[in-house]
Structures are given as structure tokens and as C-alpha cells.
Amino acid sequence: MTTADHSAASAATTGTTVPGATGADGFTHLDGDGSARMVDVTAKSPTVRSATAEATVLVSPDVLAALTGGTVPKGDVWAVARIAGIQAAKRCAELLPLAHVIGVHGATVDFEVGQDRIRIIATTRTADRTGVEMEAMTAASVAGLAMVDMVKGLDRSVELTGIRLLEKTGGRSGTWRREDCG
């Protein structure tokens, strides 16, 4: 099949969908034929939305001492992880194929140091037609990956875990908070 044939076949099976309608078996991201599709949000009005997510990096006492003492050989782990997380939030739609390209109008990445762990808290904000939950989770995840990359030379057993959404606000469904987060 040539590129032109593939494009024509793809256009013929795409069809028109009603914004917000469900497709095959009630799934929003499948069309009537069961093919993946991006939900059409053009008819939705932009609203202010935010989301907060976390990730945890488990570290040895030696790595924790290097992090808190600023002696990690690769440099400023905190700055690299923070910038990596913010950059990742802005590029979420490039990583997740059905995520919408939205304007991330605010992103923060913060850290809490524990006895054997670093808790990463990422918050994203927008005024758009769809939420920023995946952007917050991507920010927390990639900040954690950057931290692992910066310290893995000190201890290869460093572990990224516990990636989860903590809260989201705005949009049709309003506010949601994870119950076990206080």
C-alpha cells in the first residue's frame, strides 16, 4: 500500500464524531469500528483547571547524604529534576498519543526529603478545554527519572515509584482529591 493509499484508507475510516460522544462499547477513545481516536473537545468551553501529582524516589543513606549535601558528582540534581519535570509537562501530548495539546499555563515541581526517599510534587495549571492531570503526572514522572539519572552512578538500586494523581480541580467533574492524602 502506498502512502497515498494509506492516507485515503485512513480518511475513509475516520468518520465524523459528535464531540463528547462515546464510540465502540461506550469507550470515549474508540470510534464505532473500535479504532483509537482522540476525543473532540472543540465544543467545550475553556475553564481554569489544575492537577497535582506525586512520584517518589527511594534512595540509600549515601545518596540522600549526597543529595542534601550538594555533593552529587553530576551537579545540581534539584535544578535538573525541576526543569525536566516542567519541560515534560509542556510536552505531554508528544508522549501520550491521545492526549490533547493544551496550553500549560503554570507548572511547579517541588521536593520533600524523607528518611529514605524524595517525594516529588508536581502541579500544573491551564485555562483550556480539557484537564491537566496527565501533564502533572508526566512532570512528576520525568522529574523522578531525571533524579534517578543524576544519582544512579552513586547507587544503581535507586528506585522511582508511587506515581499517582493527588488532586484535580475544574472542568465538568469539578474537584477530586485522593482520600489517603489528608
Q: Tens digit of pLDDT for each residue in 27-50?
A: 777 777 888 777 888 888 899 999
Nearest to 165 by CA among 131, 134, 142: 134
Pick the residue with more confidence: 142 or 28? 142
Mean pLDDT of 87-101: 93
| Domains contained in the chain, CATH given | 1-40 (no CATH), 47-181 (3.30.70.640)
Whether the per-residue pLDDT at 2 is higher than 90: the answer is no
* Residues with a known catalytic role: 149
Mean pLDDT of 58-74: 97
Whether the per-residue pLDDT at 18 is higher than 50: the answer is no
Distances (CA, A) of 160 to 15, 44, 67, 92, 126: 41, 36, 15, 19, 27
